[in-house]
Structure 1
Amino acid sequence: MTVDELATHREVFQQPGVWREAAALLADRRDEVDAFLAPLLARPDLRIVLTGAGTSAFAGEVLAPALTRALRRRVDAVATTDIVSNPREVFAEQVPTLLVSFARSGDSPESVAATQLATTCLESVHQLVITCNADGRLAREHDESATSFVLLMPPATNDRGFAMTSSFTSMLLTAWLALAPGQDADLADRLAVGAEQVLSRADDVAKLTAGGYDRVVYLGSGPLGGLARESALKLLELTAGEVVSYYDTALGFRHGPKAVLRAGTLAVVYLSNDAYTRQYDLDIAAELRTAIGAENVLVVSAGESPDAWQLDGLAGVDDAALALPFVVIAQLLALRFSLRLGRTPDNPFPDGEVNRVVEGVTIHPLPR
């Protein structure tokens, strides 16, 4: 099988097209979405909780700080795995809550259990389900609920490959467009053009994997901190842990985690579009160039920056949206590292140690 025949390769490269499709699907349902969300967002005491497991949880980590700023209200990212294991802590406050669930398949045990526990623990809860699988249990259970709204992604985003790629980015884009006010009508297209710039340089990304690296560090600030975490997971998944990956924030990295640096380390720094935050990203990039050599530091930017990989046409875009074209670089790195190591990216765990849809989880009843 050639690289072009891999589902993971196809799903990475289809992203510009499915982002445009996802934005069009949301536009077609805009009146319905607004009718559901507007009364909730009008409540000053509304708490928004963004949830999912694994990569789906990291969509929430990217969005939460950006939505807090855009909506000027409390927005928390809490993984379904934390909700299921500690529901009384997560839902300790009896405040009106909008639970936004991200799920590729919607069939993982925690996805459904988290929504049920929210209903059990809270007196007032509405649920926005964003999923790639119309036949998944999560979509089916919430489709007819008067307090829920289900947003389906384009069918192609229900990735067949092991790792979430187009599913992650399409759900993230849809949530941002649905919840963040005042977004430009052409935002999805601008992001798609940015991703096309990345994909046109896929061979340049592949060359990085020939550098003898056995560990990769991803750093980002604010919403791009969540992106760094997702980037590290992609590499860990597709290389089955053979390449060590690490993530942190630009400022947090110096406080101990910098010890991960050694010969054979590639560092990727995502530069924020926020002028203030960007200063800290540039500081750590300069420090890394001194520590491990400029040739081992990849800086990614949407604005002019010396010695950075610059994506054009994205100036002024919020960091949460900027995460979409930026993550394509991490996806390509993970794919190419996997192939170079002789792994099968579509199924990096042939013995089933880790599964596409998590298995082996027992959902225990919550005592009254």
Structure 2
Amino acid sequence: MNKNNIFFRNMMFILLSSIGGFLLSFTGLSIGWMIGSLVVATLLSYRKPQFLQTNEQGISKFWTCIGQCLLGIELGQKINLSVMSVFMENSLAIIFMLIMSIIFSIISGYVLWKFSKTDMLTSFYGTAPGGLTAMPSIAEEVGANTAIVSIIQTIRVFLVILMIPMIVSYLLVTPHHSGAANSALMMAAPEFQFTQLFWTFALVFAAWGGAILGKKLKFPAPWTIGSMLGVAIFQTAGSSMVGHDLIAWWPTTFMILAQILIASSIGAMFHKNMLIGLGKIVNLALICTIGFILAMFGCSFIVSKLTEITFVTATLAFAPGGIAEMATTSVLLDGDSTFVVAVQVLRIIVVLLFLPPCFKFIEHYEKKKVELSG
């Protein structure tokens, strides 16, 4: 199969997959493009129509790298002066939340691994609260079952998005809309200005440099983590020099494209034997996720009692859901949306940087234990 034919089939696969994302985007979920595209890509890979035949590794890695790099730029831009200021003011509470997130994640993954037929890495990456878009990409790099990781991550995100806003608004507060103007300012993409375009190119260059360095340093998913760190360092340094946050022209279309490319790449690698023993895995994933959410409520209560942070703000900041969803909910419930965004962003960064090496250490320890017992 020549390169032009492969490129055409890859493009057709991605475009058809994006139809699912487009349809699910009407639900209003920011991850709708990811989930919808993943579902259609998985179905296409399962049915394997002749005009879309791909190799066993799915579509070209080129598309995955672009999607991961776009995701890294999106996350890296969120590390700005405002986030750093919030961290300095509430460092102890945030560190406590991040440590507990890691502990609960490892416990959930360990339970899923011990009581289901899935392998260790798939269990750990499936329960890690690093985001539906990021975790399957990293799981792919280490050889975990990306289909199961995606399913477990989807279950967690949906449970968090459905349960937490409803419980918080029903038991604690009455929703208000006084922050609507602030919400629109925070969530909407900035209008295009020609000067912002220069900063966009600068961040793309920083992301590319970070990804290349990440590959040399053997980072997991270097096109995500390397580009994220490159943009974060460049963004923070540039903003510090001018004394205010620099804003790049970065429309939401780029994040939509990242979700489509990553979801299509994951779905294209699907094959039937990935679903062996899925029923028990899903049931255990539900139990682990509900346990995670309940533990989060307990930790949020402790933080609210020991600090001046409200229970609503602590709950939404600690919730293992999406940044956009939790930030929007915090505005509607009169929480501190800046704090929520800061903690959510820092949690994802900590999870992406520290959990993969931790999982690798646990895997190495278990292998050594098996060898000694054998």
Same fold (TM over 0.5): no
Greater helix proportion: 2
TM-score (norm 2): 0.28
TM-score (norm 1): 0.28
Structure number with the bigger relative contact order (C-alpha 8 A, sep ≥ 6) is: 2
Greater strand proportion: 1
